[in-house]
Structure 1
């Protein structure tokens, strides 16, 4: 009974981690067109000139739902900020909903907007809407989390995030996401092992999702905001790699989920972007589920990066993963490890065996990285996220 309860808690935590990870991941790979505005000021009561200009030039109604517990740390700051916004436009409608106090309305909103977490702002104009989470609205200090205390707000950046969201939903242009097919990738049509949740995460951010075979496209247009490669099992052709390279050179975004034991032809391509794919399988006896292979790893160690900023107390289950490391030569790119095994983990290179033993000098010693984020800040800016597993985002 205790084991069953432990596994149930682990599954719940893994689900929460997935929801949070997808939310932040999508924002990290968000549209270049609506990049965040630098409007943060020292005095919260005074809006920037840019925000006032956006509000006074609104041509359609905008509604904001404050889906927050009144006890949440940001509730007061958000309320004060929205009062200032209301002073500058009559086209703004604001509704405050405490999910714990008004359960009927909360359930209605959860169904309408597919809300799966607390403490959000929902910004809507017409059929377009965008979510803002705590980590969009503030930077947090997590120093005390390890001692059982809640993170504290370090910097409130609500005006920056909210004005950008209003711009996003009031523009006719809809961000476009391409999910690749033709190499055995996971699809949204699969009942088991599909990627519906990943597609929903993009759609919640007002992004249009299309399934595309890159071989049928001579180039990836700049209107495509993110390209997703969800678990290819066959080689990507040189023509397709050239299209991806050109797209990224022009400031594209790529999410690559690359499983172990697959020859995808992406090794050299990703190496040019500062990423090394391990020819191994990540094993961690200290982070495995009971009675299953040590290659079924759950991760509780994350670095400081926006993609995993909210996940310090959560765990993510990677049923089968390869190592993904910063390459030795990154060419001026910023490559950040995101999720790590414990020190007892390693990258097992003898992948045909069903039992695993660390081989000094052959296997990669832990902690082992399973995911990295790549950023190029010089114009045009580029962002990639490469994860050594695709199963963790499946239905």
Structure 2
């Protein structure tokens, strides 16, 4: 019996070693990663995975990292997070000291710089972070830098401005995604330059010269893409020929909404939108957007355009003709006799048609009755930035990038109620030390009896 018990012990030890060896072999041949953070943020963000899905074909990453030190291991571990979701993404290392002339040709001055190649395009990256690498991959998916011309000279919102009403913060983020903002002043040119991918007319406050209006209408007639951000009371700026070319009518008055008070908004001119008409721009968008002052839009004629709304006010909204200030906001009422229109009312429209230009397949135009929602002041509200990015992607024809998930990390802060906080405090300061003390006493008692 004693021999059999010893044999059982040896067999158990042998089986234990065999199991450990099998586990080690399998872990070497196969790996499994589990991420329990919100939306798997600790492994790779949802947005980064969506960008990888948009890249249909192999991606090659070359790292010019010195073989000495741990830099190559760091780069390899970082890129591996991307390779788990895109198996045809490859990484190779090149010693930068072996070919200094090539380094100068590529403009590489940082140890560990990356060169990304996708098809015939490439991007250089000097910073190792998920945001920078994902942006570089998105620029590759976009197919090159896109030129976005902002009309200037007539009090428009500036693409590089830092004032509250300007769009500087928004355009800085878009530039990281492959768009370049350039000024377009019709006092210096008489037409929209060639190779312009999109023209933005962002809320002019002064009347545009007839030559500028003609240049814009000729640009649209020739197949150019346009984003027009209009504002209430901006109906006397000489832009009627442009509105006629699109068959759109900017309704008088300012849009107000009675449901804003239920959301804690004191100003009825603040329009919130949580559900959207079915459109490629808003598909899958669940974030609430905020629009400070809005002009409602109506279709005067459809013509050859395919017109779709993508922003619409609620049933408690109407076009208010009377001036509004915070003191008198509670006294405003819908007045049908004065010609005010009852909601729901559209204030975001898109226009699409086969492009008259032989260089493009489709022409796209969007009109929004507000420009404040993308301004430096209101960009961070709800889904304003996400909506703006989707609009620009759609207008540029980058349909694969339109419905990328919103950027951000929702679980960076842990929200605890007072009861949960008390439970955590009790557990760590009292329950856990008491449990350890009892366990230690039990072990000491058993040893004494033995």
Could you state the TM-score of these two structures normalised by the residue count of structure 1?
A: 0.59
Query: What SS is found at the alignment partner of 2:336?
Result: coil
CA shift, 1:291, in A, is 5.6
1:114-133 matched pairs, under 5 angstroms: 121-124=134-137, 130=139
Q: Provide the residue aligned with 2:351 in structure 1.
A: 374
Q: Provide the residue aligned with 1:287 in structure 2.
A: 260
Q: Provide the residue aligned with 1:357 in structure 2.
A: 333
For the residues of structure 2 that align with 1:275 and 1:86, how far apart are their CA atoms? 50
- Mapped contact 1:218–1:243 kept (Cα < 8 A): yes
For the residues of structure 2 that align with 1:261 and 1:240, how far apart are their CA atoms? 20
Query: What SS is found at the alignment partner of 2:237?
Result: coil
Question: Relative to structure 1, is the Cα distance of residues 61 and 176 closer, same or farther in structure 2, using a 3 angstrom cutoff?
Answer: farther
Deviations 1:224-269 (A, max 9, x none): 1111112111112221111112212222111111110123222341
Q: Provide the residue aligned with 1:83 in structure 2.
A: 87
For the residues of structure 1 that align with 2:346 and 2:141, how far apart are their CA atoms? 37
Query: Aligned match of 2:185 in 193, 205, 213?
Result: 213
For the residues of structure 1 that align with 2:142 and 2:368, how far apart are their CA atoms? 31
Question: Relative to structure 1, is the Cα distance of residues 305 and 167 closer, same or farther in structure 2, using a 3 angstrom cutoff?
Answer: closer
Question: Relative to structure 1, is the Cα distance of residues 286 and 123 closer, same or farther in structure 2, using a 3 angstrom cutoff?
Answer: same
Task: Tell me which structure has the larger Cα radius of gyration.
Answer: 2
Deviations 1:282-326 (A, max 9, x none): 011113553622111211231111222232x2111111111123x
Query: What SS is found at the alignment partner of 1:364?
Result: coil
CA shift, 1:328, in A, is 3.1
- Mapped contact 2:260–2:266 kept (Cα < 8 A): no
Question: Relative to structure 1, is the Cα distance of residues 241 and 177 closer, same or farther in structure 2, using a 3 angstrom cutoff?
Answer: same
Question: Relative to structure 1, is the Cα distance of residues 378 and 186 closer, same or farther in structure 2, using a 3 angstrom cutoff?
Answer: closer
Decide which structure has greater strand share: 1
CA shift, 1:61, in A, is 5.6
For the residues of structure 2 that align with 1:304 and 1:264, how far apart are their CA atoms? 32
- Which ranges in structure 1 are unaligned for 5 or more consecutive residues? 1-22, 24-39, 95-105, 114-120, 131-164
Question: Relative to structure 1, is the Cα distance of residues 79 and 372 closer, same or farther in structure 2, using a 3 angstrom cutoff?
Answer: farther
1:1-395 matched pairs, under 5 angstroms: 82-84=86-88, 108-110=129-131, 112=132, 121-124=134-137, 130=139, 165-166=140-141, 168-169=143-144, 174-187=145-158, 188-262=160-234, 263-288=236-261, 290=264, 292-311=266-285, 313-325=286-298, 327-351=299-323, 354=328, 355-360=331-336, 362-380=339-357, 381-395=362-376
Query: What SS is found at the alignment partner of 1:224?
Result: coil
- Mapped contact 1:287–1:299 kept (Cα < 8 A): no
**Relative to structure 2, which stretch is displaced further, 181-190 or 278-287?**
181-190
Equivalenced residue count is 272
Question: Relative to structure 1, is the Cα distance of residues 387 and 393 closer, same or farther in structure 2, using a 3 angstrom cutoff?
Answer: same
- Mapped contact 1:86–1:92 kept (Cα < 8 A): no
Decide which structure has greater helix share: 2
**Relative to structure 2, which stretch is displaced further, 287-296 or 211-220?**
287-296
CA shift, 1:84, in A, is 4.4
Could you state the TM-score of these two structures normalised by the residue count of structure 2?
A: 0.52
For the residues of structure 1 that align with 2:205 and 2:269, how far apart are their CA atoms? 19
Greater relative contact order, per chain length (Cα 8 Å cut-off, separation 6+): 1
Q: Provide the residue aligned with 1:3 in structure 2.
A: none
- Which ranges in structure 2 are unaligned for 5 or more consecutive residues? 1-46, 48-53, 65-75, 92-114, 119-126, 377-450
CA shift, 1:92, in A, is 6.1
CA shift, 1:350, in A, is 3.1
